[in-house]
Structure 1
Amino acid sequence: MGDGALSVWEKSSTARVVPSARPRKLAKVPFVELADGRLQGVVSSGSDIGRVYVSSVEAGTYAFACSTNNNRPCGGARGWFCNHIRALISEAVLQYGVERVARYLKVEVSDGASADAGSLTDAMTAVRPGQGDSSAAAQVFSRFLRHLAYLELAPSTPPLPEMQWFPTTRAVA
């Protein structure tokens, strides 16, 4: 590519997506991301099909937050990781791999090669994390809804107007 030629994916309106470390089912945790210094995402309620929770764990401090999509606090996240946060961690490990999640959250896992979501959770809860700030929940939920909207679009090759800020040509030297 040193001759200035662009690859096929550089010419298209789409970008390569890093595949999941392992396949995951989206019914329980439809959205998970490592962003803004947190592991954060949307977790379906186990008891109400119309309710979802926005959960997060902060990198380094492991401060956590969990609330419904309309900002009601999770009843299970009182001084300890609730089941929503545990599900989020498990799905993040499936999506990104245990090494990447541990590195992002700054978790030291002692069992190395045999590390899994359970050992990450154990290492984080061993330091007794406190309640985190749930103010980012609205932004996380908004990103999730925006991702859902893309699923409703018919497949096409023209660029999407809201994605126009992505560079479409190589930079001029």
Structure 2
Amino acid sequence: MSEWERSSTARVSAPSQPRKLAKVPFVELADGRLQGVVSSGSDIARVYVSSVAAGSYAFACSTNNNRPCGGARGSFCNHIQTLVNEATLQFGVQRVARYLRVEVADGELRGPAVTAAMADTRPSPADTKAAAPVFSRFLRHLAYLELAPTTAPLPEMQWFPPTRQAA
């Protein structure tokens, strides 16, 4: 059994390039969307939960208190553009484009190419129901950062079935 199989932590793939964690502390490709948490440019205590749906590019952006973003009216706001740019740094342009089903020109290795390709299709605002689960996962990730590294089991992970030990 390898070391990571005995650990209570999961392997995390390294970002393709360094990211600005203060600007976008949480980004994920999940639930058919690129989604994450983006810090406000004007208020340090405010964050926005932004998402873009794969294929349709329907987007949503609201504060953690479900107040709609004033800039996301008919087109991508700065929060969504920042989210896409940081996602391409984290996962790479090709992976983000493939996940969102965006066609980018060969050799395009930056996030603005992905945003521009989606904006050409005139995306529409989406339902904001995804904001609560995304923000909840972000808060859960923050709680894990406060834990000391250990190989002991985490109580909330006890629902995983036990693995068979080799005899």
- TM-score when normalising by structure 1: 0.91
1:114 counterpart SS class: coil
Question: How many residues get paired?
Answer: 166
Q: Could you report, residue by residue, the CA deviation over 1:108-139 in whole angstroms, capped at 9, with x for unpaired residues?
A: 11x21223211100100000000011111000
Moved over 4 A (4+): none
Shift in Å, 1:151:
1.1
Question: Which residue matches 1:3?
Answer: none
Q: Where does the alignment leave 5 or more consecutive residues of structure 2 unmatched?
A: none
2:51 counterpart SS class: strand
Please state if 1:147 is matched with 2:150. no
Separation (CA, whole Å) in 2 of partners of 1:18 and 1:125:
29
Please state if 1:51 is matched with 2:39. no
CA contact (8 A) 1:11 1:169 kept: no
Separation (CA, whole Å) in 1 of partners of 2:134 and 2:12:
20
- TM-score when normalising by structure 2: 0.94
2:107 counterpart SS class: helix
Separation (CA, whole Å) in 2 of partners of 1:86 and 1:170:
46
CA contact (8 A) 1:11 1:168 kept: no
Separation (CA, whole Å) in 2 of partners of 1:61 and 1:151:
34
- Whichever residue aligns with residue 17 of structure 2, its letter is R
- Whichever residue aligns with residue 76 of structure 1, its letter is G
Percent same amino acid among aligned pairs?
Answer: 73
Match of 1:107 among 93, 102, 105: 102
2:62 counterpart SS class: strand
Instruction: Provide the alpha-carbon RMSD of the alignment.
Output: 1.6
1:113 counterpart SS class: coil
CA contact (8 A) 1:13 1:168 kept: no
Match of 2:85 among 86, 90, 93: 90
1:112 counterpart SS class: coil
- Whichever residue aligns with residue 37 of structure 1, its letter is G
